[in-house]
Amino acid sequence: MAHPATVFANAFDGAFRTATARLGAGEVELFRAMEMALIGMGYPFAVEEYHGGSHQVLFAGNGSYARTAARCELSDLMILAFDPATRKARLTYLQAKSERRPVGAACAMKFEANLEQWFLLSLRPVISGHGAFNPPSDLLSAAILNSVGSFAFFYKDASIGYQTFYASASYLQLAGTYTQKDGRLTAAGRCQVSTRRGYEECDAACSNFDFAANLYRLKIGTPIDVTSGAPANIRKWIGAAIRTQLISAKVRDAGGQVARRLLEIVDPDGTDESSGEFGAKTLIILEGKSDSDEPPINQAVPPKFQN
């Protein structure tokens, strides 16, 4: 019998490639296809989607590829993955990009990106909200793991269609020349999972399968459960945002039961419903399995495509 993470990863890969089979390289369409592939999982997987808005943050850049008084969106997508059995939870703010040039080995490719946003998600400076958005100033800087900020680059493989190259923002580095805010990034090494501060963290994943499997196994994102020692102000801010989403009738399906199970792990005693903004266009909450006995997952292509 296949392991749950393998089943989940194969299902995501198939759904994403089917949804993108006739698409061009348009970033918005590919991003939405990724979202739909994640939230379209049927039984036994539990996933919920919540809609937010585009919210910008202010931070001090380096004056080179990030302005000294920089401002940009936090990310396209906020993903919260958790395991109710082990009571573990992870958070990543993920920025999606589309690569229009032919791609060879994804972990050696140079991907086009907004360098100001890369600065934000990789170096994780202190932030302040722009306008009415009011996130914790240490939302990124106090994270336990670097993958609180991450990127997903969509690229087309000539033989199997669109794939996802995922990388923690801090695992990316400048590749070649750049102008302020615009340039190319490449992975600092191969696709791998590393252990940091006692946690397994996916540095990079080269395919749809790898990305989804590591996400399901809670190897993407920074720990935010109570037992992790994540800052209480951040946990409570996340809890308040989720509670506001629940009472504002923005639940996509299942009556918000997935979100409520997450709250028991992240902010079990919280009652605050004052902030409904979570800092991304979309929030996806995924119930996964962190204690899987599956072998390590980091393959160049999904198993069913290997010769």
Q: What is the pLDDT of residues 159-193, one digit of tens each?
A: 888 999 999 999 999 988 787 788 999 999 999 99
| Helices within 91-227 (DSSP H only) | 115-123, 208-216
Give the full edge-to-edge strand order of the sheet including 182-187.
111-114, 182-187, 172-174
pLDDT of residue 306: 33
Distance CA 167, CA 204 (A): 4
Distance CA 197, CA 232 (A): 19
pLDDT of residue 294: 58
| Helices within the chain (DSSP H only) | 4-20, 27-39, 115-123, 208-216, 232-247, 257-266
Number of domains in the chain: 1
Question: In which residue ranges of the chain is pLDDT below 50?
Answer: 252-254, 299-307
Distances (CA, A) of 59 to 70, 141, 214, 272: 5, 11, 30, 27
For residues 56 and 131, the answer to whether their CB atoms sit within 8 Å is: yes
pLDDT of residue 297: 55
pLDDT of residue 214: 97
pLDDT of residue 27: 86
* Nearest residue to 167 via CA among 67, 66, 241, 99: 99
For residues 166 and 150, the answer to whether their CB atoms sit within 8 Å is: yes
Domain extent at residue 21: 4-305
pLDDT of residue 1: 59
Distance CA 238, CA 224 (A): 9
pLDDT of residue 125: 97
